[in-house]
Every structure is written in C-alpha cells, then in structure tokens.
Amino acid sequence: FSVIGFNWLCSPACTELEVIVMDWLAKFLKLPEHFLHSTKGPGGGIIQGSASEAVLVAVMAAREQTVRRVKAKQPDLSEGEIRARLIGYSSDQSNSCIEKAGVLATLPIRLLPADDNQIMGGAQLVKAVKEDLAKGLIPTICIATMGATGTCAYDDIATLASVCEEHNIWLHVDAAYAGAVLSLDEYAYLRCGLERVDSLNYNLHKTLLVNFDCTAMWLRDANQVVDSFNVNRIYLQNKYNGQTDIPEFRHWQIPLGRRFRALKVWVTFRIYGAEGLREHVRKQIRLAERFERHILSDARLELVAKRSMGLVCFRVKGDNQLTTDLLQCVTERKKIYMVQAAFGGKNFMRFAVCGMDPKEDDIDFAWREIEEQLNKLLKEEKRGNVGT
C-alpha cells in the first residue's frame, strides 16, 4: 500500500514494474524485439492515459526531430520557417484523435482517401508526399491504423513503411482497438511491416480486460522522445538521474506525475495468464461471428465490410434513412447501444462485442432487439407508403 500511496512520486519500484509488464505485453503481442526494455538499445514501452495522448506524443516527437534534422541540413532556414512547412498523413478512416493531435501540435495532418477496402497503403502515401514536396512542404509523420474506427480495417503497414523510410517520415501505428489480435498466431499476417514502425499504441482497456484507462505505447527509439521533451529543474533531480537503466518516464509523456497503472496490468496477467487473455480475444471474435451470421440470415440487411475483430458493420438495404431510423429506434429503447458511421455514401451501424464477460445469450438478445425494431420500422414504412 505504501507503494500505491506514493505512486505520484513515480517511485523506482513503480517504474520497474512498468518496465516488466510492458515487456510482458510486447512479448504477448509478439512485437519486434527492439520494443523491449530488456533488449539492448533505445527502445521500450510506456503506459499512457489514452490513445490520443500516445498519438500526440508521437506527433510532437516527430515534429521536433524533423525540425532539428532539417535545421542541421539547411541552417539558413529559420526554425519558424521549418515548422510552418511540416505536414503529416493519415487515412480518412482514422480516429478523430489523429486530426486532433495535428491541431494540438500545430502540424496539419492530411487525411488521405482510403481505398475501396477502407485501407491506406504506400500508393496513396507516396502520391501525397510527392505533391507536398513539390509545394515545398516537409513530410514529417504518417499515422497508420490497425483496426480503424469505422470498420476496423487494417492499413497496409509494409508498403507505408517503405515510403516512410525513403522520405525520413516517422511511422506511428494506432492499434488502439484491434492491437489485441497480434497475440493470436492466426493473425500473424498482420504483423507484416511492424518491425519497421517507429511507434505503436494499443488500449488495454478496450479489449484486454484491464479497466479504464490504460494505453500501452512502444517506441523504437525512446531517445527521440526524451530528447524532444526533456526539460529539467533542480527539484526534479535525484541520485538516479541518468545513472541507472530505469527509464525516466516523465520525459516520455505529457504530465509530470504518473499513475501506477502497471499494477492493474500485472494483476490482469496474473489472474488470466497469457492463454486466458488470448481466449478472451478469441471469444470476442467468435461472438462477433455469431452476430454476423444473424445479419447474413436476414435478407433485409447487408454487411458493409467483412467482420473484423469484434466489430460487425451492417445496414438496412436501400435508403440510408432506414438505417438511421433503425439505430434511433434501438437507441431510444436503451437495451443495446451502437453508433453509426458512413463509408462510400452508405450509412451503417457498428456492432462491437465488448464487456468483461460477454456471452452467446447477450449476442442473441441484441440480435432479437434489432430484428424486432426492424420489423416494426418496415411495417410502419409500408403503412406510410400506402398513405401517400
């Protein structure tokens, strides 16, 4: 308890446990070795408060590193001139926090149109980079998504990495929701290219049974962040400064103080074990497949994208208004909760499996609720049409 009570001091014991659990997690997700603290080299992981924070840290570090690199090459340019030319990239399917990070960091993020499968790849990026270079802009960071918010699509990390390497662009991967699938061998193909990214985030509080909030972030070279953010004061100095292998996480994040979030990760791993956690991820997928079968069994509905992780995206065939109305009916009854998204001119509903212990019965309950409301809606629709 004394350790918990003093956690705001970021005692070495709290930091040490965080180093341990971040390496457990990296191994659990089979991330590249250079993300481990225990690997010799400048890489490692840290727990941040949210994906938004992790993305902002990556954007700001990329910004500072780029400013310094360009300044060294072209000393006649002022820092202000360099900053005004920086530009970042992400897909138009990425989470709103990416655009927000650009606003907060005063580094505009161009949202590139995803392809028909909702994916952004090297082809789109290289085109945008060339356009911007011709305008005298400086490509700085690309934020790819594993499991985009709309349909849980996976950007093509490998081809993006090739473009980023060629143009000295920081590559960050936002895997806030779907990162958990990296723990499963059947999804090994999604790891393709991950060994080439600079940083990655995953929210344990979304799909891995850790309570809110807990965002894991890994850096290939943490020195790039520390070097960008490090400001020291005499009251921050202690005998450990720079003398041990324990990272000084305050230089890896926005706040000074930190919570002892490593403890709940440690407890979760100790309770469930790696296999128990993998089973939890597989269960979310199985239940989503069950829901997907319900949708496919009803000719009035269609899938907008293939089920991905625990997310099923579907709509009522025909006019967008039907889908919007159905969602409104379901929401008003307050039995289940979903949100809407749109792609390619089509509105759709997103059914996401979540919770501590979701069961088949819960899925069937949700399905019956949707089916009932759909029956009612279409009946009223018919009556309405007769009337006009």
Ligand X SMILES: *Cc1c(COP(=O)(O)O)cnc(C)c1O
Q: How far is the CB of 376 from ligand X (least distance, A)?
A: 32
Asked about 95 being catalytic, the answer comes back as: yes
Per-residue H/E/C for the chain? CHHHHCHHHCCHHHHHHHHHHHHHHHHHCCCCHHHCCCCCCCCEEEEECCHHHHHHHHHHHHHHHHHHHHHHHCCCCCHHHHHHHEEEEEECCCCHHHHHHHHHCCCCEEEECCCCCCCCCHHHHHHHHHHHHHCCCEEEEEEEEECCCCCCCECCHHHHHHHHHHHCCEEEEECCCHHHHHHCHHHHHHHCCHHHCCEEEEEHHHHCCCCCCCEEEEECCCHHHHHHHCCCCHHHCCCCCCCCCCCCHHHHCCCCCCCCCHHHHHHHHHHHHHHHHHHHHHHHHHHHHHHHHHHHCCCCEEECCCCECCEEEEEECCCHHHHHHHHHHHHHHCCCCCEEEEECCEEEEEEECCCCCCCHHHHHHHHHHHHHHHHHHHHHHHHHHHHC
> Of 65, 63, 104, 69, whose CA–CA distance to 86 is shortest?
63
Cβ distance to ligand X smaller for residue 176 or 225: 176
The rounded Cα 132 to chain-centroid distance in angstroms is: 26
Q: How far is the CB of 212 from ligand X (least distance, A)?
A: 9
Cβ distance to ligand X smaller for residue 51 or 114: 51
Q: How far is the CB of 174 from ligand X (least distance, A)?
A: 5
Distances 259 to 3, 254, 304, 356 between C-alpha atoms, Å:
11, 13, 40, 23
Cβ distance to ligand X smaller for residue 313 or 326: 313
Q: How far is the CB of 156 from ligand X (least distance, A)?
A: 16
Q: How far is the CB of 74 from ligand X (least distance, A)?
A: 35
Spot the catalytic one: 95, 201, 203, 347: 95
Lookup result for tokens 């349909």 = 151
Binding site for ligand X (CB under 6 A): 50-52, 95, 97, 145, 147, 149, 174, 176-177, 203, 215
Cβ distance to ligand X smaller for residue 252 or 367: 252
Cβ distance to ligand X smaller for residue 174 or 248: 174
Q: How far is the CB of 167 from ligand X (least distance, A)?
A: 24
Cβ distance to ligand X smaller for residue 11 or 50: 50
Cβ distance to ligand X smaller for residue 150 or 358: 150
Which tokens belong to 132? 């911007």
> Of 217, 265, 229, 238, whose CA–CA distance to 21 is shortest?
265
Distances 203 to 25, 88, 89, 174, 208 between C-alpha atoms, Å:
12, 23, 22, 9, 8
Q: How far is the CB of 217 from ligand X (least distance, A)?
A: 11
Q: How far is the CB of 147 from ligand X (least distance, A)?
A: 6
Cβ distance to ligand X smaller for residue 110 or 206: 206
* 59 contacts 14 by C-beta, under 8 angstroms: no
Active site residues: 95
